[in-house]
Amino acid sequence: MAFTLPDLPYSKDALDPHISAQTLEFHHGKHHKAYVDKANAALEGSDYDGSDLEATIKKSWADKDMGMFNNAAQIWNHTFYWHSMSPNGGGAPTGEIAEAINKSFGSYEKFAEEFKNAGATQFGSGWAWLVKKGDKLEVRKSLNAENPITDGATPLITMDVWEHAYYLDYQNRRPDYMGAFLGNLINWDFANANLRA
């Protein structure tokens, strides 16, 4: 079963001015597509042939098959990231996720501080995550393609902090990109749906 490049859940210019159409053209159309192409090339005749994406991620992680893991996990991570943003997103959460954040972090402001810190202190390429583990929410950061599903956590939101996610729009100003993500893009409806799942 070959993997496919999913469509973006909005038009390429929908996140302007916070993330440009040019960034999405490169990030989705080149980077994300390259992970799909490489994973599909590695699938043929392998033990993963016929497995879905999550099963491939978990098996390749357990088997320490980092070539397959890196590409499969990056397909998943990027697909999840596109949905973690919305043209109508940003600001403080509402609904169940707001209650869960207050319970786990004390306030939205404390969560935002931890989330931005995770993104800012991720050395090199990686991700910042809001996850549910047991009955608590946690902020995590991960290196390269790593993601929380390998240890049984439920991802709720992610922010890509690889340079290709923001460099055309923000150059080396990762904190400005993270501020725009939280202030204008984060998709709390998606987080609420993941929390209920």
9: DSSP letter: S
Q: What is the pLDDT of residue 45?
A: 84
Query: Which has the closest alpha carbon to 97: 172, 24, 186?
Result: 186
Q: What is the pLDDT of residue 44?
A: 84
89 Cβ neighbours under 8 A, 6+ residues apart: 184, 185, 186, 187, 188
Instruction: Decide which of 1.10.1060.10, 1.10.287.990, 3.40.50.720, 3.30.450.70 is the CATH code for 21-83.
Output: 1.10.287.990
pLDDT of residue 95 exceeding 90: yes
* Burial of 168: CB neighbours in 10 Å, binned 0-12, 13-18, 19+: middle
**Sign of the CA dihedral with 27 first, then 139, 16, and 89 last:** positive
From CA 143, how far away is CA 128, in angstroms rounded?
Answer: 9
Q: What is the pLDDT of residue 63?
A: 95
Q: Is 128:172 a contact under the CB 8 Å cutoff?
A: no
Q: DSSP of 112-135, one letter per residue?
A: HHHHHHHHHH--SSEEEEEEEETT
User: 3-class secondary structure for 36-58?
Assistant: HHHHHHHHCCCCCCCCCHHHHHH
Q: What is the fold, at CATH topology level, of the domain defined by 96-196?
A: minor pseudopilin epsh fold (3.55.40)
Across the range 135-139, mean pLDDT stands at 96
pLDDT of residue 1 exceeding 80: no
18-50 pLDDT tens trace: 999 999 999 999 999 999 999 999 988 898 988
From CA 129, how far away is CA 115, in angstroms rounded?
Answer: 7
Q: DSSP of 131-147, one letter per residue?
A: EEETTEEEEEEEETT--
Across the range 77-82, mean pLDDT stands at 98
The pair of structure tokens assigned to 117 is 């810190």
Q: CA neighbours within 13 Å on the CB side: how many for 94?
A: 5
At 90 the three-state DSSP class reads coil
Mean pLDDT score of the chain:
96
Q: What is the pLDDT of residue 107?
A: 97
In degrees rounded to 5, what are phi and psi of residue 132?
A: -110, 125
What are the sequence ranges of the domains in the chain? 21-83, 96-196
